[in-house]
Every structure is written in C-alpha cells, then in structure tokens.
Structure 1
C-alpha cells in the first residue's frame, strides 16, 4: 500500500511541476509561477491563427498571456530579449521589439483545452500569423518554442 501511495505522489508531483513556469532574470533568484498563478495575475489574451503545424491548414484558437504583460508583472525593465527553453532544451530568443510589434503570446490553451505536452504544451510561445503574415516565415517559426519549461530575460 505504501508503494502505491509513493508512486502516486511521485506521479502527481511530476505532473504538477509540468505546469510550472520558471522565469530567470540576471542576478536574481528564479521566479517559479504555477499555471493557476499565471491565469489569475496576467490578463488573458486569445487569437485564432493558421500555423504550419495545423492539420489540414485549419486555424487554431490559442489562449494565454503576452510576454509584455509578464514582463510588466515581474517589473522587468530595460529588456533586450527573451529566450524560451523547451523541455527538450531547444531554445530560441525573441527581441523586445518583436514582442512589442507583434504581441505574441505564451499559450496554455489550444482550442479551449489545456495544452498537454503531446499537444505542444503546457506552454507554447506563438505569433498570430494570420494577423501578422510576416511572422509566418522560417525565421519566426524557429522562435515559436513549444513545451516551454523556462523563460530567460536578457537586459540591455
């Protein structure tokens, strides 16, 4: 019975931590925010867009928060760029200028459902390629990191 309880608790803690997002700022302790915290303290942003990864070229609906809202919430000033690190350690950076110009989001919901790891979740940095078609290009595609575990902020 104890083994079952231990295995269940380990599984639950692993599952729960998959929904935490670590934010790293230079010369500071990392900030770890749960999915519930992110949803409760940041304004919700949503859009529907086409992506190269959609089945049958069907648009998808994404819900999440903008990086500008997160940067404002954590009081990050003089930001130059933001890097997104995935569960498999793939990473890509985006300039503050692109964050301001195109208002991409860190999505946590896909077509109204929480994003599972197998569905690019729990977090996916993505541009609205239908509103900003210039972001539907290989250079921007490489920035759209999914299965994000960590966000790293770089200052000017």
Structure 2
C-alpha cells in the first residue's frame, strides 16, 4: 500500500519540482555578454549575469522576445521600421518586479516609466532602425519606443518624455 501511494504521489511531486527548477534556471540563464554592452539593468535585479546587474549586448537583447514596430515618431522623418526586445521582456529576464523603472540616457537624462505602460502596450527597446543598428548619433544605441501610429493616444507630452533615446541603463528600485 505504501509503495502504491509513493508511486502515485512521488511522480507528480517530482515532475512539479523539476518543472519549477527548470523555470528558475531558464529565467536566470542569460550568460554574461560577449559583445559590447548596450544596456545595464541595475537595482532590484533577481537574475544578474555580471555582479548584481544584468548586462545585455546586441545578441542577448535579440535573444529575448522581440517586436518590429513600423511607426512615425516625433524625432524621425516618415515611418521607420524599428526592432528590438519588448521592454517588459528585458524586465522579466532581469527578474524585476516593480511598479516603475528609471530609464537613464548616456547623456544623463532620466525618465520614470510605469511598468503598466509596458503591460498595456508593446513598448520596445529599439536597437535597429530599417534593418541597421541605431547609431548613437541617431537616437541609439537603445531607444525606448512606444507604438505611436498604432495608438495615437500615446502622442502626448508625458509619453514623449518616457521615450528616452541614447539609453544606457534601466534601474528598478
């Protein structure tokens, strides 16, 4: 009787434990970057890959769930084709649970971005425009991009201030 009970309870329990273990391994599985670091995620990072931070190069960023957004912006001419990881995917990879994050540009401009924006819209961290890496002189290397044309309500001063270009880091309190 004990043997039957063990077989009935042990196998599902073992599967559940292994399932949880594999989820935690995959969440923390980003290796240290091999290329130039484009983005540092600091603060309350549960899944760091360099010290207490998550550092991402182009390859690591593109390994996360990405999107292409074809949109016009207040800072570019015409409609551009922008590509990069979903902002929320970067936060998930870092293991960040926060209501807002601070995005800092390499020129020391900062903006607070509510995580609710990232859940409601497919905001990306654009690293390519029209198939090419975004250069620092052209809003790069990382640009917080909201899908403006798909959601005209985003064309307001508040969201424009959250659309940081020249992004160097994201900080989660």
The TM-score with structure 1 as length reference comes to 0.80
Residues 44 and 96, structure 2, Cα contact 8 Å, conserved in 1? no
Is 1:103 the counterpart of 2:122? The answer is: yes
**Aligned counterpart, 2:102:** 83
The CA deviation at 1:20 is 2.5
CA distance in 1, matches of 2:101, 2:85: 15
State the shift of 1:75 in Å: 2.0
Partner residue in 2 for 1:123:
142
1:64 offset after TM fit, Å?
A: 0.4
Q: CA, structure 1 residues 139+118, in 2 after alignment: closer, same or farther (shift >3 Å)?
A: same
The answer to whether structure 1 residue 51 and structure 2 residue 51 are counterparts is no
Q: Does 1:60 align with 2:84?
A: no
1:92 aligns to what? Answer: 111
Q: 1:113 aligns with which of 116, 119, 132?
A: 132
How does the TM-score come out when normalised to structure 2? 0.72
CA distance in 2 between counterparts of 1:124 and 1:20 reads 11
Contact 2:103 2:110 in 1 (8 A): yes
Larger radius of gyration: 2
| Matched residues, number | 134
42-51 or 116-125, larger mean C-alpha shift: 42-51
CA RMSD of aligned residues (A): 1.6
C-alpha change, 1:107 and 1:101, in structure 2 (3 Å) is same
Q: Which has the higher contact order (CA 8 A, sep 6+)?
A: 1
TM-fit CA distance, 1:25: 2.2
Unaligned runs of 5+ in 1: 1-15
- Structure 1 ranges of 4+ moved more than 6 A: none
Structure 2 unaligned spans of 5+:
1-34, 47-51
Pairing 1:25–2:43 present? yes
Range with greater deviation from structure 2 (142-151 or 44-53): 44-53
Match of 1:151 in 2: 170
